[in-house]
Amino acid sequence: MTLSEDGQWMYDGSNWVPAIPGATNVGSAPPGNAPKMPMNKPSSRGERMSDIGWWASQGTTQFFILIGFIMMIMSAGYAHSATYTEGPTAPDQNDYDVDDNGLEAGEIENFTADYEVYEDIQTQHLKDRNQDTGNAVYWASVGPGFIVLGLLVFCLNDNSKEMSNSLRITMMIGTLYLLSNMLFDGSAINFIAGIGAN
């Protein structure tokens, strides 16, 4: 029970009554309104701050999705390098013909030596571009897997209190669609969609 400021009245939850039981004549009038009740405030740390599982699952989800997007960006970089990196320039015979009377023995030697160097550089260039193409394909294949894995963790996470079941089911269907397209090049979805068509 709450006492008034002068200590002569007590609030019983609905009315002010004298603080001394049985007293009929109290020196002051009862307060006019109900006392302000202290409210139980939520803890300043909040509900999620203490829920380590929520933080761990959110971190895992974000980690997998972020790594997946980084892999996709790396794939695009390798693909760009494989497509647009220029190779070495082949030596021109006219550059070695100093006196404009055709290539002589010494000029042929110089041209042949430089052409062999060019062939070595060209071979290395083609190997590097081939490796860039392979890296682009690899990262483009692995990156979506990490994104789908992050979405699976997000959909199956029990600590996701904000997500309704209908949204969870919708995201799960979309994630499984992405997973089947990634693993089976869409053949699983085409097979399931084709069952009712025949």
| 114-139 pLDDT, tens digit each | 999 999 999 999 999 999 999 999 99
How many residues would you count in the chain? Answer: 198
Q: Is residue 27 predicted with pLDDT exceeding 70?
A: no
What pTM does this model have? Answer: 0.58
> Which stretches of the chain are assigned E, i.e. beta strand?
2-3, 9-11, 16-18
Q: In this predicted structure, which of 81-90, 114-123, 147-156 has the lowest mean pLDDT? A: 147-156
Which residues have C-beta within 8 Å of that of residue 103, sequence separation ≥ 6?
A: 93, 96, 97, 111
